[in-house]
Amino acid sequence: MSRLGGDQVAERGPLAGRRLYLCTPDRPDLGEFVGACIAGGVDVVQLREKELEARPLLRRAALVRDVCSKLGVPFILNDRPDLALECGADGVHVGQDDAPPSLARRILGPSAIVGLSTHAPEELDRSELEPVDYVSAGPVVETPTKPGRPGTGVGYAALAAARASALHRPVFVTGGVTPSTVAELAAAGVRHFVVVRWLTQAGDPQSAARALRRAVDRALDTAGEAVEPQR
């Protein structure tokens, strides 16, 4: 687990110390891809697949669950707390228009990880009353994975990170996370990063994940936060 430096508040909960969160759709090489990303430094994985029906999605989720379990990384399923329960995921991530976090918590129980997307200060306000372990904030920049949703800018990411720190609850920032962008985000107070295209479009996912993780660790070190050495 990471050690916070200076006057920062110690993290709590099932994701304490985890920094790099992969969000991936299904793909033909899903198990190999997830394993390579974890080997490169990813320490949380979400399967976000909008096209598959329930039964095929369960089969793909079980594949990712097995890879993550073997490698000691939490596995989170997007949108569907019922399917997260069925496949034995570690948790679920829901959006503003999905099943409410309170329902996800009732379905999955007190030890599951429940995450919630936020895109604006009023959503962040409401999230403080929800039984969630973390929130996501963004996308910082407009991204094709969230078509039609404008970028929130770094300012909202900084606000969300500050609020989440006060609640001892991590905020994972989304949108355009690459080795060249994490320093600005870390300087704004961000400590947890969601990556999509930098890895899903990489020819060598393990090397791409390693480069991103090293950039994250350097950025956090510069910001005054000690991190575990890269694996």
* Cα 103 to Cα 82, 110, 179, distances in angstroms: 10, 12, 36
Q: What is the predicted pLDDT for the residue at 174?
A: 95
Residue ranges in the chain modelled with pLDDT below 50: 1-9, 229-231
Both tokens of 98, joined, read 């999905």
Place of tokens 């009732």: 106
Average pLDDT, the chain: 91
Q: What is the predicted pLDDT for the residue at 115?
A: 98
Query: Which residues are within 8 A (CB) of 217 and not within 5 positions of it... i.e. 6 or more apart?
Result: 19, 227, 230
Place of tokens 């920032």: 173
Per-residue model confidence as pLDDT tens digits over 81-109: 999 999 999 999 999 999 999 999 999 99
Domain chopping of the chain, boundaries: 26-222
Between CA 74 and CA 97 the distance in angstroms is 24
* Cα 81 to Cα 78, 95, 99, 105, 130, distances in angstroms: 8, 12, 8, 8, 15
Between CA 137 and CA 27 the distance in angstroms is 25
Q: What is the pTM of this model?
A: 0.91
Q: What is the predicted pLDDT for the residue at 97?
A: 94
- Does the domain made of 26-222 have the CATH classification 3.40.50.720? no
The overall longest dimension of the chain from CA atoms, in Å, is 48
| Nearest of 63, 68, 67, 89 to residue 78 by alpha carbon | 89
Query: Burial level of 51, CB count in 10 A (0-12/13-18/19+)?
Result: exposed
Q: Are 124 and 135 in contact (CB under 8 A)?
A: yes
